[in-house]
Structure 1
Amino acid sequence: MRVLLSGFAPYGEDHVNPSWEAVRRLDGIQAAENVTLFATRLPVVYGEAIKRLISSIRVIRPEVTIAVGQAGGRMQITPERVAINVSDAPIPDNAGRVLTDKVIISDGPAAYWSTLPVRKIVRAIKDLGIPAGLSNTAGTFVCNQVFYGLMHELSHSGQTKIGGFIHIPYIPEQTLDKLAPCLSLDTITKALKRAAVVSAEALMPEHKFTEIN
Protein backbone atom coordinates (compact mmCIF):
# COMPACT_ATOMS: atom_id res chain seq x y z
CA MET A 1 0.00 0.00 0.00
CA ARG A 2 1.28 3.44 -0.93
CA VAL A 3 0.94 6.46 1.35
CA LEU A 4 1.79 9.88 -0.05
CA LEU A 5 2.75 12.66 2.34
CA SER A 6 3.13 16.24 1.20
CA GLY A 7 4.96 19.08 2.92
CA PHE A 8 5.41 22.74 2.10
CA ALA A 9 8.43 24.75 1.05
CA PRO A 10 9.59 27.46 3.49
CA TYR A 11 7.19 30.38 3.78
CA GLY A 12 8.12 34.03 3.66
CA GLU A 13 11.41 34.78 5.39
CA ASP A 14 11.63 31.38 7.07
CA HIS A 15 14.49 29.20 5.89
CA VAL A 16 12.82 25.95 6.90
CA ASN A 17 9.36 24.42 6.92
CA PRO A 18 9.03 21.49 9.32
CA SER A 19 6.25 19.92 7.25
CA TRP A 20 8.65 19.27 4.39
CA GLU A 21 11.63 18.49 6.61
CA ALA A 22 9.60 15.77 8.34
CA VAL A 23 7.95 14.15 5.33
CA ARG A 24 11.11 14.09 3.25
CA ARG A 25 12.71 11.96 5.97
CA LEU A 26 9.97 9.42 5.30
CA ASP A 27 10.26 9.37 1.52
CA GLY A 28 10.83 5.87 0.19
CA ILE A 29 10.79 4.06 3.52
CA GLN A 30 8.77 0.98 4.35
CA ALA A 31 6.81 2.07 7.42
CA ALA A 32 5.18 -1.31 7.98
CA GLU A 33 4.62 -4.57 6.18
CA ASN A 34 3.23 -3.64 2.74
CA VAL A 35 3.12 0.09 3.59
CA THR A 36 5.54 2.29 1.65
CA LEU A 37 5.76 6.05 2.13
CA PHE A 38 6.37 8.70 -0.50
CA ALA A 39 6.86 12.47 -0.15
CA THR A 40 6.29 15.48 -2.35
CA ARG A 41 7.05 19.18 -1.75
CA LEU A 42 4.43 21.84 -2.43
CA PRO A 43 4.97 25.57 -3.00
CA VAL A 44 3.21 27.96 -0.63
CA VAL A 45 1.32 29.42 -3.57
CA TYR A 46 -2.42 29.42 -4.12
CA GLY A 47 -3.42 27.12 -6.96
CA GLU A 48 0.09 25.84 -7.62
CA ALA A 49 0.22 23.82 -4.40
CA ILE A 50 -2.85 21.72 -5.13
CA LYS A 51 -1.80 21.26 -8.76
CA ARG A 52 1.53 19.85 -7.56
CA LEU A 53 -0.18 17.52 -5.10
CA ILE A 54 -2.67 16.23 -7.67
CA SER A 55 0.14 15.65 -10.16
CA SER A 56 2.01 13.61 -7.54
CA ILE A 57 -1.13 11.60 -6.76
CA ARG A 58 -1.58 10.73 -10.42
CA VAL A 59 2.03 9.58 -10.73
CA ILE A 60 2.38 7.70 -7.43
CA ARG A 61 -1.24 6.46 -7.25
CA PRO A 62 -1.37 6.24 -3.44
CA GLU A 63 -4.20 4.63 -1.52
CA VAL A 64 -3.70 7.20 1.26
CA THR A 65 -2.72 10.86 0.91
CA ILE A 66 -1.80 12.98 3.92
CA ALA A 67 -1.04 16.64 3.36
CA VAL A 68 1.02 18.22 6.13
CA GLY A 69 1.44 21.88 7.01
CA GLN A 70 2.90 24.10 9.70
CA ALA A 71 0.64 25.76 12.27
CA GLY A 72 2.94 28.00 14.26
CA GLY A 73 1.68 28.50 17.80
CA ARG A 74 -0.01 25.12 18.15
CA MET A 75 1.33 22.80 20.83
CA GLN A 76 0.15 19.50 19.33
CA ILE A 77 0.08 17.39 16.19
CA THR A 78 -3.41 18.19 14.94
CA PRO A 79 -5.26 16.14 12.30
CA GLU A 80 -7.85 18.39 10.68
CA ARG A 81 -11.50 17.38 10.60
CA VAL A 82 -12.88 19.62 7.83
CA ALA A 83 -11.82 21.74 4.84
CA ILE A 84 -13.95 24.70 3.75
CA ASN A 85 -14.52 26.11 0.29
CA VAL A 86 -12.95 29.53 0.73
CA SER A 87 -9.54 31.18 0.66
CA ASP A 88 -9.42 34.35 2.72
CA ALA A 89 -6.24 35.43 4.48
CA PRO A 90 -4.62 38.83 5.04
CA ILE A 91 -1.13 37.45 4.44
CA PRO A 92 0.37 36.90 0.96
CA ASP A 93 1.45 33.54 -0.40
CA ASN A 94 5.01 33.15 -1.64
CA ALA A 95 4.00 34.69 -4.96
CA GLY A 96 2.75 37.80 -3.17
CA ARG A 97 -0.92 37.00 -3.78
CA VAL A 98 -3.57 37.85 -1.18
CA LEU A 99 -7.05 36.32 -1.52
CA THR A 100 -10.25 37.59 0.08
CA ASP A 101 -13.56 35.69 0.07
CA LYS A 102 -12.32 33.55 -2.83
CA VAL A 103 -14.25 30.34 -3.48
CA ILE A 104 -11.82 27.48 -4.11
CA ILE A 105 -14.03 25.44 -6.44
CA SER A 106 -17.08 27.26 -7.80
CA ASP A 107 -19.35 24.22 -8.02
CA GLY A 108 -17.92 22.46 -4.98
CA PRO A 109 -19.70 21.85 -1.67
CA ALA A 110 -19.24 24.24 1.25
CA ALA A 111 -16.96 21.75 2.99
CA TYR A 112 -15.39 18.30 2.85
CA TRP A 113 -14.76 16.01 5.79
CA SER A 114 -11.39 14.34 6.12
CA THR A 115 -11.58 10.65 5.31
CA LEU A 116 -8.57 9.82 7.46
CA PRO A 117 -9.30 8.04 10.77
CA VAL A 118 -8.58 11.27 12.63
CA ARG A 119 -9.52 10.13 16.14
CA LYS A 120 -7.51 6.92 15.77
CA ILE A 121 -4.55 8.98 14.58
CA VAL A 122 -4.78 11.23 17.63
CA ARG A 123 -4.94 8.25 19.99
CA ALA A 124 -2.04 6.48 18.26
CA ILE A 125 0.18 9.55 18.43
CA LYS A 126 -0.66 10.08 22.10
CA ASP A 127 0.26 6.45 22.72
CA LEU A 128 3.76 7.38 21.55
CA GLY A 129 3.91 10.03 24.26
CA ILE A 130 3.53 12.84 21.71
CA PRO A 131 0.94 15.61 22.19
CA ALA A 132 -1.91 15.39 19.70
CA GLY A 133 -5.45 16.68 19.34
CA LEU A 134 -8.25 16.98 16.82
CA SER A 135 -8.63 20.34 15.06
CA ASN A 136 -11.80 21.73 13.54
CA THR A 137 -10.20 24.41 11.40
CA ALA A 138 -7.41 24.29 8.85
CA GLY A 139 -7.59 28.06 8.48
CA THR A 140 -8.27 29.81 5.16
CA PHE A 141 -4.75 30.06 3.75
CA VAL A 142 -2.90 27.71 1.38
CA CYS A 143 -3.11 24.75 3.79
CA ASN A 144 -6.90 24.78 3.68
CA GLN A 145 -6.93 25.22 -0.09
CA VAL A 146 -4.72 22.15 -0.48
CA PHE A 147 -6.88 20.18 1.96
CA TYR A 148 -10.09 21.14 0.16
CA GLY A 149 -8.62 20.50 -3.29
CA LEU A 150 -7.32 17.11 -2.18
CA MET A 151 -10.70 16.01 -0.87
CA HIS A 152 -12.43 17.26 -4.02
CA GLU A 153 -10.01 15.25 -6.15
CA LEU A 154 -10.51 12.10 -4.08
CA SER A 155 -14.30 12.49 -4.10
CA HIS A 156 -14.22 12.32 -7.91
CA SER A 157 -11.66 9.53 -8.25
CA GLY A 158 -14.22 6.73 -8.23
CA GLN A 159 -11.83 4.58 -6.19
CA THR A 160 -11.46 3.65 -2.55
CA LYS A 161 -8.86 6.15 -1.47
CA ILE A 162 -8.63 8.28 1.64
CA GLY A 163 -6.93 11.51 2.52
CA GLY A 164 -6.78 14.53 4.76
CA PHE A 165 -4.57 17.11 6.40
CA ILE A 166 -2.39 17.26 9.52
CA HIS A 167 -0.97 20.43 11.04
CA ILE A 168 2.27 20.34 13.02
CA PRO A 169 3.97 22.84 15.38
CA TYR A 170 7.21 24.73 14.91
CA ILE A 171 10.53 22.98 15.39
CA PRO A 172 12.99 24.44 17.96
CA GLU A 173 15.19 26.34 15.50
CA GLN A 174 12.15 28.40 14.49
CA THR A 175 11.54 29.61 18.04
CA LEU A 176 14.96 31.03 18.90
CA ASP A 177 13.63 34.59 18.68
CA LYS A 178 10.01 34.02 19.66
CA LEU A 179 8.03 32.54 22.51
CA ALA A 180 6.13 29.71 20.87
CA PRO A 181 5.62 25.99 21.48
CA CYS A 182 7.60 23.54 19.40
CA LEU A 183 8.37 19.86 18.93
CA SER A 184 11.59 18.29 17.71
CA LEU A 185 11.80 17.23 14.09
CA ASP A 186 12.40 13.65 15.22
CA THR A 187 9.18 13.74 17.24
CA ILE A 188 7.14 15.18 14.39
CA THR A 189 8.53 12.63 11.94
CA LYS A 190 7.73 9.78 14.31
CA ALA A 191 4.15 11.04 14.72
CA LEU A 192 3.59 11.36 10.96
CA LYS A 193 4.93 7.88 10.34
CA ARG A 194 2.48 6.52 12.89
CA ALA A 195 -0.35 8.51 11.31
CA ALA A 196 0.48 6.96 7.93
CA VAL A 197 0.38 3.41 9.29
CA VAL A 198 -2.88 3.98 11.18
CA SER A 199 -4.43 5.46 8.03
CA ALA A 200 -3.34 2.45 5.98
CA GLU A 201 -4.96 0.18 8.56
CA ALA A 202 -8.23 2.06 8.06
CA LEU A 203 -8.41 0.72 4.51
CA MET A 204 -7.70 -2.82 5.71
CA PRO A 205 -9.42 -3.06 9.13
CA GLU A 206 -9.00 -6.81 9.20
CA HIS A 207 -5.22 -6.41 9.10
CA LYS A 208 -2.97 -5.02 11.84
CA PHE A 209 0.24 -3.57 10.42
CA THR A 210 3.43 -3.88 12.43
CA GLU A 211 5.39 -0.66 12.19
CA ILE A 212 9.01 -1.03 11.13
CA ASN A 213 11.49 1.00 13.18
Structure 2
Amino acid sequence: MSTQTPRSGCTATVLLVGFEPFGDDAGNPGWDAVRLLDGAQIGGRRVVAACLPVTFGESLRQLQAHIDRLAPELVIAVGLAGGRSRLSLERVAINVDDARIPDNAGACPIDCPIVDDGPAAYFSNLPIKAMLVALRDAGIPAEVSQTAGTYVCNHVFYGLMHALRHQPGVRGGFIHVPYSPAQATRRPDAPSLPAATVAEGLRIAVQAALDTAQDLRIAAGAVH
Protein backbone atom coordinates (compact mmCIF):
# COMPACT_ATOMS: atom_id res chain seq x y z
CA MET A 1 0.00 0.00 0.00
CA SER A 2 1.08 3.59 -0.45
CA THR A 3 2.82 5.17 2.49
CA GLN A 4 1.78 8.66 1.41
CA THR A 5 -1.62 10.34 1.24
CA PRO A 6 -2.45 13.27 -1.01
CA ARG A 7 -2.83 16.66 0.65
CA SER A 8 -4.80 19.69 -0.43
CA GLY A 9 -2.59 22.09 -2.35
CA CYS A 10 0.27 19.59 -2.75
CA THR A 11 2.46 19.49 -5.83
CA ALA A 12 1.73 17.28 -8.83
CA THR A 13 2.27 13.59 -8.26
CA VAL A 14 4.34 10.83 -9.80
CA LEU A 15 3.00 7.37 -8.96
CA LEU A 16 5.58 4.58 -8.84
CA VAL A 17 4.24 1.09 -8.26
CA GLY A 18 6.16 -2.06 -7.40
CA PHE A 19 5.02 -5.57 -6.61
CA GLU A 20 4.98 -7.95 -3.69
CA PRO A 21 7.26 -11.03 -3.82
CA PHE A 22 6.16 -13.95 -5.96
CA GLY A 23 7.32 -17.47 -6.78
CA ASP A 24 9.94 -18.71 -4.34
CA ASP A 25 11.46 -15.29 -3.61
CA ALA A 26 11.16 -13.55 -0.24
CA GLY A 27 11.50 -10.07 -1.71
CA ASN A 28 10.90 -8.12 -4.89
CA PRO A 29 13.68 -5.74 -6.01
CA GLY A 30 11.26 -3.56 -7.96
CA TRP A 31 9.35 -2.69 -4.80
CA ASP A 32 12.58 -2.42 -2.80
CA ALA A 33 13.75 0.32 -5.18
CA VAL A 34 10.41 2.07 -5.59
CA ARG A 35 9.85 2.50 -1.86
CA LEU A 36 13.25 4.19 -1.52
CA LEU A 37 11.77 7.05 -3.58
CA ASP A 38 8.50 7.34 -1.66
CA GLY A 39 8.01 10.97 -0.67
CA ALA A 40 10.90 12.23 -2.80
CA GLN A 41 10.64 15.34 -4.97
CA ILE A 42 11.64 14.87 -8.62
CA GLY A 43 11.27 17.73 -11.04
CA GLY A 44 8.99 19.54 -8.61
CA ARG A 45 6.65 16.55 -8.34
CA ARG A 46 5.99 14.44 -5.29
CA VAL A 47 6.65 10.70 -5.62
CA VAL A 48 4.11 8.32 -4.15
CA ALA A 49 5.06 4.65 -3.96
CA ALA A 50 2.53 1.82 -3.92
CA CYS A 51 2.87 -1.95 -3.82
CA LEU A 52 0.58 -4.13 -5.93
CA PRO A 53 -0.28 -7.79 -5.41
CA VAL A 54 1.06 -10.30 -7.92
CA THR A 55 -2.43 -11.38 -8.89
CA PHE A 56 -4.35 -11.09 -12.12
CA GLY A 57 -7.34 -8.78 -11.84
CA GLU A 58 -6.81 -7.52 -8.29
CA SER A 59 -3.55 -5.83 -9.27
CA LEU A 60 -5.45 -3.70 -11.80
CA ARG A 61 -8.24 -2.89 -9.35
CA GLN A 62 -5.71 -1.60 -6.84
CA LEU A 63 -3.78 0.30 -9.50
CA GLN A 64 -6.97 2.02 -10.66
CA ALA A 65 -7.79 2.97 -7.06
CA HIS A 66 -4.36 4.61 -6.68
CA ILE A 67 -4.80 6.51 -9.96
CA ASP A 68 -8.29 7.67 -8.98
CA ARG A 69 -7.07 8.84 -5.57
CA LEU A 70 -3.92 10.61 -6.67
CA ALA A 71 -4.65 11.84 -10.22
CA PRO A 72 -0.95 11.47 -11.03
CA GLU A 73 0.83 13.21 -13.88
CA LEU A 74 3.08 10.19 -14.49
CA VAL A 75 2.70 6.49 -13.64
CA ILE A 76 5.50 3.94 -13.89
CA ALA A 77 5.19 0.34 -12.78
CA VAL A 78 8.38 -1.50 -11.86
CA GLY A 79 8.66 -5.28 -11.90
CA LEU A 80 11.23 -8.06 -11.67
CA ALA A 81 12.68 -9.71 -14.78
CA GLY A 82 15.13 -12.22 -13.34
CA GLY A 83 18.00 -12.96 -15.72
CA ARG A 84 18.10 -9.51 -17.27
CA SER A 85 21.16 -7.42 -16.53
CA ARG A 86 19.79 -3.92 -17.17
CA LEU A 87 16.86 -1.68 -16.41
CA SER A 88 14.50 -2.61 -19.23
CA LEU A 89 12.31 0.20 -20.52
CA GLU A 90 9.32 -1.66 -21.90
CA ARG A 91 8.00 -0.56 -25.26
CA VAL A 92 4.77 -2.55 -25.62
CA ALA A 93 2.13 -4.43 -23.61
CA ILE A 94 0.02 -7.14 -25.28
CA ASN A 95 -3.56 -8.12 -24.58
CA VAL A 96 -3.01 -11.63 -23.27
CA ASP A 97 -2.52 -13.39 -19.95
CA ASP A 98 -0.57 -16.63 -20.38
CA ALA A 99 0.87 -17.63 -17.01
CA ARG A 100 3.81 -20.01 -16.79
CA ILE A 101 3.37 -20.17 -13.01
CA PRO A 102 0.31 -19.42 -10.85
CA ASP A 103 -0.07 -15.93 -9.44
CA ASN A 104 -0.08 -15.39 -5.68
CA ALA A 105 -3.78 -16.24 -5.52
CA GLY A 106 -3.28 -19.50 -7.40
CA ALA A 107 -4.72 -18.29 -10.72
CA CYS A 108 -3.03 -19.52 -13.88
CA PRO A 109 -4.83 -18.06 -16.92
CA ILE A 110 -3.86 -19.38 -20.33
CA ASP A 111 -4.40 -17.39 -23.53
CA CYS A 112 -6.93 -15.06 -21.89
CA PRO A 113 -7.46 -11.46 -23.02
CA ILE A 114 -6.78 -8.85 -20.39
CA VAL A 115 -9.54 -6.65 -21.80
CA ASP A 116 -12.27 -8.31 -23.87
CA ASP A 117 -12.38 -6.66 -27.29
CA GLY A 118 -9.42 -4.46 -26.31
CA PRO A 119 -6.69 -3.62 -28.83
CA ALA A 120 -4.01 -6.24 -29.42
CA ALA A 121 -1.39 -4.02 -27.80
CA TYR A 122 -0.62 -0.65 -26.28
CA PHE A 123 2.67 1.19 -26.62
CA SER A 124 4.16 3.01 -23.66
CA ASN A 125 3.75 6.76 -24.01
CA LEU A 126 6.89 7.42 -22.01
CA PRO A 127 9.85 8.95 -23.88
CA ILE A 128 11.76 5.68 -23.56
CA LYS A 129 14.62 6.67 -25.87
CA ALA A 130 15.32 9.87 -23.94
CA MET A 131 15.12 7.90 -20.71
CA LEU A 132 17.57 5.36 -22.15
CA VAL A 133 20.10 8.05 -23.02
CA ALA A 134 19.79 9.69 -19.59
CA LEU A 135 20.33 6.37 -17.83
CA ARG A 136 23.34 5.42 -19.94
CA ASP A 137 24.86 8.88 -19.52
CA ALA A 138 24.65 8.35 -15.75
CA GLY A 139 26.32 4.95 -15.98
CA ILE A 140 23.15 2.98 -15.21
CA PRO A 141 22.85 -0.16 -17.39
CA ALA A 142 19.67 0.18 -19.44
CA GLU A 143 17.96 -1.08 -22.58
CA VAL A 144 14.70 -0.78 -24.48
CA SER A 145 12.81 -4.06 -24.22
CA GLN A 146 10.37 -5.30 -26.82
CA THR A 147 8.47 -7.68 -24.52
CA ALA A 148 7.05 -7.40 -21.02
CA GLY A 149 6.17 -11.09 -20.95
CA THR A 150 2.66 -12.48 -20.43
CA TYR A 151 2.53 -12.64 -16.62
CA VAL A 152 1.26 -10.08 -14.09
CA CYS A 153 3.79 -7.41 -15.16
CA ASN A 154 2.39 -7.31 -18.70
CA HIS A 155 -1.13 -7.55 -17.24
CA VAL A 156 -0.53 -4.39 -15.20
CA PHE A 157 1.29 -2.60 -18.03
CA TYR A 158 -1.57 -3.26 -20.47
CA GLY A 159 -4.19 -2.39 -17.89
CA LEU A 160 -2.37 0.85 -17.05
CA MET A 161 -2.24 2.00 -20.65
CA HIS A 162 -5.88 1.01 -21.14
CA ALA A 163 -6.82 3.08 -18.07
CA LEU A 164 -4.87 6.10 -19.35
CA ARG A 165 -6.34 6.04 -22.85
CA HIS A 166 -8.93 8.66 -21.90
CA GLN A 167 -6.55 10.77 -19.79
CA PRO A 168 -4.63 12.93 -22.27
CA GLY A 169 -1.43 14.34 -20.91
CA VAL A 170 -0.90 11.53 -18.39
CA ARG A 171 2.10 9.37 -19.23
CA GLY A 172 2.59 5.78 -18.20
CA GLY A 173 4.77 2.76 -18.77
CA PHE A 174 6.71 -0.11 -17.29
CA ILE A 175 10.31 -0.79 -16.28
CA HIS A 176 11.69 -4.25 -15.53
CA VAL A 177 14.67 -4.62 -13.21
CA PRO A 178 17.20 -7.42 -12.55
CA TYR A 179 17.50 -9.63 -9.49
CA SER A 180 18.80 -8.13 -6.28
CA PRO A 181 22.28 -9.28 -5.16
CA ALA A 182 20.63 -11.40 -2.43
CA GLN A 183 18.46 -13.16 -5.00
CA ALA A 184 21.44 -13.69 -7.30
CA THR A 185 23.37 -15.60 -4.63
CA ARG A 186 20.87 -18.43 -5.12
CA ARG A 187 21.26 -18.37 -8.89
CA PRO A 188 24.82 -18.89 -10.17
CA ASP A 189 25.85 -16.40 -12.85
CA ALA A 190 22.59 -14.44 -12.60
CA PRO A 191 23.12 -10.67 -13.08
CA SER A 192 21.91 -8.32 -10.36
CA LEU A 193 21.74 -4.68 -9.32
CA PRO A 194 21.54 -3.18 -5.80
CA ALA A 195 18.27 -1.49 -4.82
CA ALA A 196 20.06 1.84 -4.43
CA THR A 197 21.32 1.67 -8.03
CA VAL A 198 17.87 0.76 -9.32
CA ALA A 199 16.30 3.58 -7.29
CA GLU A 200 18.79 6.07 -8.73
CA GLY A 201 17.98 4.75 -12.20
CA LEU A 202 14.28 5.25 -11.55
CA ARG A 203 14.90 8.79 -10.34
CA ILE A 204 16.82 9.56 -13.54
CA ALA A 205 14.15 7.91 -15.69
CA VAL A 206 11.37 9.90 -14.03
CA GLN A 207 13.28 13.15 -14.45
CA ALA A 208 13.88 12.42 -18.13
CA ALA A 209 10.20 11.60 -18.63
CA LEU A 210 9.15 14.85 -17.00
CA ASP A 211 11.66 16.89 -18.99
CA THR A 212 11.00 15.38 -22.43
CA ALA A 213 8.01 16.44 -24.49
CA GLN A 214 9.12 14.79 -27.74
CA ASP A 215 11.08 11.54 -27.56
CA LEU A 216 14.45 11.12 -29.23
CA ARG A 217 14.66 9.26 -32.51
CA ILE A 218 17.58 6.88 -32.01
CA ALA A 219 18.12 3.20 -32.71
CA ALA A 220 17.32 0.96 -29.74
CA GLY A 221 15.63 -1.99 -31.39
CA ALA A 222 16.37 -5.70 -31.33
CA VAL A 223 17.27 -8.30 -33.94
CA HIS A 224 15.46 -11.03 -32.03
Q: TM-score, normalised by structure 2?
A: 0.88
Please identify runs of 4+ aligned residues in structure 1 that moved more than 4 A: none
Supply the RMSD in Å over aligned alpha carbons.
1.3
The gaps in structure 1 that reach 5 residues or longer are 206-213
State the alpha-carbon separation in 2 of the partners of residues 99 and 136 from structure 1. 22
Please, which of 1, 16, 21 is the counterpart of residue 10 of structure 1? 21
Aligned residue in 1 for 2:32: 21
Q: Per the alignment, do residues 121 and 73 of structure 1 end up closer, same or farther by CA in structure 2, a change over 3 Å counting?
A: same
Asked if the contact 2:127–2:214 (Cα under 8 Å) also holds between the matched residues in 1, the reply is: no
Asked if the contact 1:125–1:195 (Cα under 8 Å) also holds between the matched residues in 2, the reply is: yes
Q: Percent identity?
A: 49
Aligned residue in 2 for 1:189: 199
Q: Deviations over 1:104-159 (max 9, x none)?
A: 001210000000000111111111111100000000000000000000000023x3
Amino acid corresponding to residue 108 of structure 2 in structure 1: V
Asked if the contact 1:35–1:200 (Cα under 8 Å) also holds between the matched residues in 2, the reply is: no
State the alpha-carbon separation in 2 of the partners of residues 87 and 156 from structure 1. 23
State the alpha-carbon separation in 1 of the partners of residues 205 and 14 from structure 2. 10
1:153 lines up with 2:163 in the alignment: yes
State the alpha-carbon separation in 2 of the partners of residues 46 and 74 from structure 1. 23
Amino acid corresponding to residue 16 of structure 1 in structure 2: G
Aligned residue in 1 for 2:102: 92
State the alpha-carbon separation in 2 of the partners of residues 200 and 62 from structure 1. 12
Amino acid corresponding to residue 18 of structure 2 in structure 1: G
State the alpha-carbon separation in 2 of the partners of residues 94 and 77 from structure 1. 24
Report SS of the residue matched to 1:151: helix
Q: How many residues align?
A: 203
Asked if the contact 1:3–1:37 (Cα under 8 Å) also holds between the matched residues in 2, the reply is: yes
Amino acid corresponding to residue 156 of structure 1 in structure 2: H
Q: Deviations over 1:151-197 (max 9, x none)?
A: 0000023x311100000001100011212000111100000011111
Q: CA deviation at 1:204?
A: 9.4
State the alpha-carbon separation in 1 of the partners of residues 54 and 212 from structure 2. 30
Aligned residue in 2 for 1:54: 64
Asked if the contact 2:130–2:212 (Cα under 8 Å) also holds between the matched residues in 1, the reply is: no
Report SS of the residue matched to 1:133: strand
The gaps in structure 2 that reach 5 residues or longer are 1-11, 216-224
Q: CA deviation at 1:56?
A: 0.4
Asked if the contact 1:3–1:200 (Cα under 8 Å) also holds between the matched residues in 2, the reply is: no
Report SS of the residue matched to 1:198: helix
1:177 lines up with 2:215 in the alignment: no
